[in-house]
Amino acid sequence: MQGQSGVLGRLVHSCVVGTVATASIITGCGSDEPAASGTGGQANGGTSASGGASGGSGGAGPSTGGVASTGGASGGAPANSGGSAPSGGAPANSGGSAPSGGAPANSGGSAQTGGSGGSAQSGGAPSSGGSPGSGGASTGGNASVLTVVPLPAPAVGRGGSYRGFAEKFNRYYTDAAWQPTKTIYVSPTGGGNGQTKAAPTTVAAGLSAATPGTRVYFVSGTYSGCYELGSERSGTYDAPVVLYGERTGAGARSVLINCCATGRQTCINVEAADYVAVDGFELSGGNYGVRAVGADYAASQHQKGVAVLDCEGHGQSRDPFFTGQSDWYVIERSLGRDAGSGDGHGIYLSNGSDWNIARFNELRNNYSSDLQINADPASTCTDVNIDVSSPDCDALAGTPGDGGRGASDFMLVEGNFFHDGLAQGPNFTSVRHSIVRNNVFAKYARHGVSFWQETTNPKLGSSDNQILHNLFVATVANRQMVQFVENSTRNRVENNVFVGVGGTRLAMEVDGTVTENQYVKNAYIAASLSGRTAAAGELTIPSFDQGIFAAFPAGASNDPAAWKPSATAPFLAQGALSPNVTFDRDGAARTAPTDLGPYER
């Protein structure tokens, strides 16, 4: 939110949304980085809210249960999650028997032990288990992370399981066989009836005629304006509304929208409309490229099923891609660059959204954190008089009731290329039970990735996440490549590569509130640790040799392949193969023992 909250006395960085017609509270904001980093992010909320409901119950459901690959068959099963795959290898997820719902007893069950035996993943099929929302069981020990699916397939197919929940994503994304029931052609000038490509109508006419199942086909050209779909233009789970930008014969985008300069200045705004897909647009300027928001903070008021695919947003003063209160959102194969000083995030997922996917995107040269996931409990809870320690604020997504507005759960951040940021790397702020894998995080002017939060409620720490097979690169001194602070605990950090360039750099910073992270087989190359020491079996390599990468220095390149390992990379064939990360960033099958980092060689 904007810094209106004098009570908190926060130096909130400005990231307003401008005039919001239907719900002025929709903003999604929060700070850009932890105060601890010392670069001017504000301190946490500092309210006195923490006291209340702690005590360990209620909140976060199941333990993270460790990645299936760890195999540890035993116990640790959270009291009632039901999950925790019996050693037989039954998928933890299906182990369901989702207890009716009582709040999951604890989140404590040590992640370390919770793993499942065998193929949690392979078997872990579709949510046989606890029905979504039935209380924790669905994540059951979380042994099933989520199988890596190479492009061009979607991360999850139509009707499949996503982290133990029946998927609710946009069908245009999950179902390649889907066909629109109606297509309306539009062009910059319009003039036709819209029924054929030769007779396109105006964008305004096309959008106002959209109903579930409609594809609005933007013919090649340069458009000037801002376009909006409101709730009356919602699609449905079975019949989405699709905004499609024509491609050239070679498959390149050929529709450019130059954003308007008035009002919200959003090229494409999806305002409390569900099940809208936006595919194949270049969006230039304005405040936002594609903005997708729900109706209100409460989970039941969130938007559902927006998909942003193969788009490019650049030169927005705020964010190329922005969401708030938007569940089951996907952004994939999109480029967000050159976001400006008004907010400056390449992708911003805000306001306690859950079940989001950010996959195979490129973010570069953005003014602020290139991926900002901020659940915004200050905005979604404190500012509207909801205690941050109440289930309304901190409940795990999918648990009974309408809670969890101040936390973002079950996010998937996979295969992205984050690089050459003008400030800091991705922020995971009150982000829980999420997966971050096969990404490249290379070079920031400030520091790298942060797992943290803005409140004093320990349950809102960025906890129970899986950080697997990523590459982190830093060139600046004394700024961490990744940070876990403010109760961002019970995270599993495995098979990652940390590289310092130009001298020994700080790989990781961990504070005293973080005591239950697991660190397995990470490689630290010219990279130091703060707050912990390397675990047994981790690789510590004192100096960096640029020959370990395919094409170092990669600074002039926007090709992530520059960061592939060479034959001399010291982190090849070092890790245990996880059934949950069976493919690398390029879709190549991983083989045991697996190479650390995002690429298998």
Query: What residue ranges bind Ca ion (CB under 5 A)?
Result: 352, 354, 397, 404, 407, 595, 600
Bridge-based pairing of strands 161-162 and 165-166 is antiparallel
Q: Which is nearer to Ca ion, 190 or 401 (CB)?
A: 401
Provide the CA 513 distance to its chain's centre, in angstroms: 24
Minimum distance from residue 60 beta carbon to Ca ion (Å): 12
* CA-based R_g, the chain, Å: 22
Q: How far apart are CA 1 and CA 316, in angstroms?
A: 19
Task: Name the minimum Å distance from CB 209 to Ca ion.
Answer: 34
Q: Which H or E run includes 206?
A: helix 203-208
Q: Which is nearer to Ca ion, 267 or 395 (CB)?
A: 395
- Residue nearer to Ca ion on the CB measure, 301 or 558: 301
Q: What share of the chain is helix, strand, coil (3-state, %, to 5)?
A: 10, 25, 65
381 sits in the region (left: phi over 0; alpha: psi -120 to 50; else beta) called alpha
Alpha helix (H) ranges present in 344-494?
A: 377-380, 391-394
Distance, in Å, from the CA atom of 116 to the CA atom of 37, rounded to the nearest integer, reads 36
- Smallest gap from Cβ 277 to Ca ion, in A, equals 22
Considering the complex, state which of residue 296 and residue 354 has its C-beta at the smaller distance from Ca ion.
354
Question: Closest separation between CB of residue 494 and Ca ion, Å?
Answer: 16
CA angle in degrees (0–180, nearest 5) for 7-428-441: 140
State the minimum distance, in angstroms, from the CB of residue 525 to Ca ion.
17
To Ca ion, the closest distance from the beta carbon of 600 in angstroms equals: 5
**Three-state SS for 539?**
strand
Classify burial at 261, counting beta carbons within 10 Å of its beta carbon; exposed 0-12, middle 13-18, buried 19 or more.
exposed
Query: By C-beta, is 424 or 580 nearer to Ca ion?
Result: 580
227 DSSP β-pair partners: 268
Pick between residue 342 and residue 391 the one whose CB is nearest to Ca ion.
391
481 within 8 A of 527, measured Cβ to Cβ: yes
Q: How far is the CB of 170 from Ca ion (least distance, A)?
A: 19
Nearer to Ca ion, 343 or 354 (CB): 354
Q: Which is nearer to Ca ion, 167 or 600 (CB)?
A: 600
Report the sign of the C-alpha dihedral through residues 262, 264, 267, 269, in that order.
negative
332 vs 600 by CB, closer to Ca ion: 600
User: Rounded to the nearest whole angstrom, what is the least distance from the CB of residue 572 to Ca ion in the complex?
Assistant: 5
In the complex, the smallest distance separating the C-beta of residue 581 from Ca ion, rounded to whole angstroms, is 13
Q: Which of 570, 601, 393 is nearest to 498 (CA)?
A: 570
| Residue 159 near residue 167 (C-beta atoms within 8 A) | yes
Q: How far apart are CA 126 and CA 187, in angstroms?
A: 42
For the CB of residue 434, give the shortest distance to Ca ion in the complex, in Å.
11
Rounded least distance, CB 392 to Ca ion, Å: 10
Nearer to Ca ion, 354 or 392 (CB): 354
| Rounded Cα gap, residues 200 and 213, in angstroms | 19
Sign of CA dihedral 140, 143, 146, 147: negative
Dihedral of CA 113/114/117/121: which sign? Answer: negative
Q: Which CB atom, from 352 or from 560, has the smaller least distance to Ca ion?
A: 352
SS3 589: strand
Least spacing, CB of residue 410 vs Ca ion, in Å:
9
Q: Which is nearer to Ca ion, 16 or 596 (CB)?
A: 596
Angle at alpha carbon of residue 206, lines to 221 and 17, rounded to 5°: 80
